[in-house]
C-alpha cells in the first residue's frame, strides 16, 4: 500500500463553483478544521480555495484575500449552502467499502 497515494485520496476534494462568472473551489472541512467552522464566515474561510488550493477569504483585510465581512450576505449564504450540500453528496471516492 502506498500511504502517500492513500493520503491524497482521503483529503477533501475541491469542487468548482461559479460566482458571477468566476470559479472558486469549495470542499468539506478536514477533521482538524471542523471545530473552526462555527458560523458562515468561518466556514467560508476554511472551506473555500482558489485554483491552487489557497484560501481566498479572511476575517480582516489581508493582501491577496477577500474580507468576508465586506461581502454581500446573499453570496455568503449561497457559498455556505453549497458547502453544506457537499455533506449530503457522496461520490464514489468518498465512500468506504464495507467488508
- The number of domains in the chain is 1
Is residue 57 domain-resident? yes
Query: Mind listing the pLDDT tens digit for each residue in 66-77?
Result: 999 999 999 999
CA distances (Å), 37 to each of 46, 71, 86, in order?
Answer: 7, 18, 14
User: Considering the entire predicted model, what is its pTM?
Assistant: 0.84
pLDDT, position 88: 87
Is residue 78 domain-resident? yes
Q: Which residue has the higher pLDDT, 91 or 34?
A: 34
Task: State which residues form the domain around 68.
Answer: 13-90
Query: Mind listing the pLDDT tens digit for each residue in 39-81?
Result: 999 999 999 999 999 999 999 999 999 999 999 999 999 999 9
Is residue 97 domain-resident? no
pLDDT, position 92: 47
All three cell numbers of 3: 500511504
Phi-psi region of 64 (alpha: psi -120 to 50; beta: other; left: phi over 0): left
- The strand pairing partners of 17, in sequence order, are 24
Amino acid at each position: 500500500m502506498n500511504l502517500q497515494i492513500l493520503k491524497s485520496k482521503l483529503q477533501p476534494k475541491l469542487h468548482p463553483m461559479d460566482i458571477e462568472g468566476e470559479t472558486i473551489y469549495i470542499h468539506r472541512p478536514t477533521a482538524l478544521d471542523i471545530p473552526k467552522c462555527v458560523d458562515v464566515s468561518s466556514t467560508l474561510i476554511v472551506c473555500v480555495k482558489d485554483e491552487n488550493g489557497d484560501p481566498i477569504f479572511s476575517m480582516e483585510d489581508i493582501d491577496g484575500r477577500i474580507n468576508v465581512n465586506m461581502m454581500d450576505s446573499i453570496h455568503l449564504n449561497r457559498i455556505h449552502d453549497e458547502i453544506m450540500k457537499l455533506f449530503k453528496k457522496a461520490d464514489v471516492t468518498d465512500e468506504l467499502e464495507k467488508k
